[in-house]
Amino acid sequence: MITDLPPLTWLRAFEAAARSRSFTHAAAELHLTQAAISKHVKALEAHLRQPLFIRHARSLELTKSGEAYLPSVQDALERLAAGTREVFGPRRTGVLTLRCAVAFAVNWLAPRLPAFLDANPDINLRVISTVWNGPFDNDAFDLDIQYGRGDWAGFTSHRLTQETITPVCAPDLRLTSPDDLREQRLLHVLGYQEGWGLWLKAAGASGVDAGKGLQLDNSLTALALARQGGGVALGRASLAAADLAAGRLIAPFDLALASAEGFHLLQPSLGKGHAKAGRFVDWIRAEAA
């Protein structure tokens, strides 16, 4: 039984030779010697324990095993090439890459994005969603959307949302006073500076333990749990708006606390940047306004 994949160089030599029916042509295509192609193919045959070619004086003929194997090898090489182009292809002259907090990408950006794409068919946009934002890689990203107070060194920051925070829950959960939260599971989203402690203090709910409940790494999960009656989430206005409008969630209390934090679009201050980034920046700022 074959338990490991053959080296890529062997597979490329086999595919080129099988397609051209010639070690000489395969060598020219892959910029190798004929002897190297022959050596790679022999190594592959030994690895597979099956002959792949019938060798004639001036040509090659695939064996039954070779004929059966060739389509799988070609498909694998094509998929690998396509994946490499998609992820690592020329970016500065092609794809405009935006890194974006996943909850904002799903709840705010996605409903609006088709309008931008329809109006800008020449822009090839890539959106990379993330939960935890690591260091910004200028070679990987052109723009970034993060949550915070707007103080990111090395970036021009455009505030996109003016947030309020308020508890949200499933419609069948009846809460009449903030003190009722004593009996509820509080859903905490890690990474926000302003959380349950701030809201409960403003609401005067001193009898509620602000640290109890379930900790989660993103708002999407918190809102999904709240919709299913799995707890009470502290909803940010920009992320909970659609669920509240559709009645999937309710805000049981009148207190919506203004937040100093919000989602910001970040542009690196240094470097030339993507030639078409300005159009996306203008569009998203207009949408936010």
pLDDT, tens only, 137-185: 766 789 999 998 888 888 889 999 999 999 999 999 989 999 999 999 9
**Sign of torsion, CA 278 279 284 285?**
positive
Could you tell me which residue, 235 or 141, shows the higher pLDDT? 235
Closest Cα partner for 15 from 82, 93, 67, 85?
67
What is the pLDDT at residue 84?
Answer: 80
- 209 φ/ψ angles, rounded to the nearest 5 degrees: -75, 110
Q: CB neighbours of 21 closer than 8 A, spacing ≥ 6?
A: 59, 60, 61, 62
139, 166, 204, 229 from 255: Cα distances, Å: 44, 7, 11, 21
More confident position, 133 or 217: 217
| Assigned CATH for 164-258 | 3.40.190.10
Enumerate the domain spans of the chain.
8-88, 96-162+262-288, 164-258
Architecture of the domain made up of 8-88: Orthogonal Bundle (1.10)
Residue 265's H or E segment, with its range, is strand 262-268
Angle, vertex CA 177, rays to CA 175 and CA 182, nearest 5: 80
- The CATH class of 96-162+262-288 is alpha beta
> Does the pLDDT value for residue 212 go beyond 90?
yes
Residue 256: its H or E element: none
CA distances from 152 to 129, 146, 164, 265 (A): 19, 10, 21, 11
Give me the percent of the chain exceeding a pLDDT of 70: 94
Give the per-residue pLDDT at 5: 85
Instruction: Please say if the pLDDT value at position 92 is more than 50.
Output: no
Percent of the chain with pLDDT over 90: 76
* Mean model confidence pLDDT for the chain: 90
| Token output for 118 | 């329809």
pLDDT of 76 above 70: yes
Report field, pTM of the whole predicted structure over 0.75: no
Given this model, what pLDDT does residue 273 score? Answer: 80
Q: How far is CA 90 from CA 97, 117, 127, 149, in A?
A: 11, 20, 16, 33
Q: Do domains 8-88 and 164-258 have the same CATH topology?
A: no
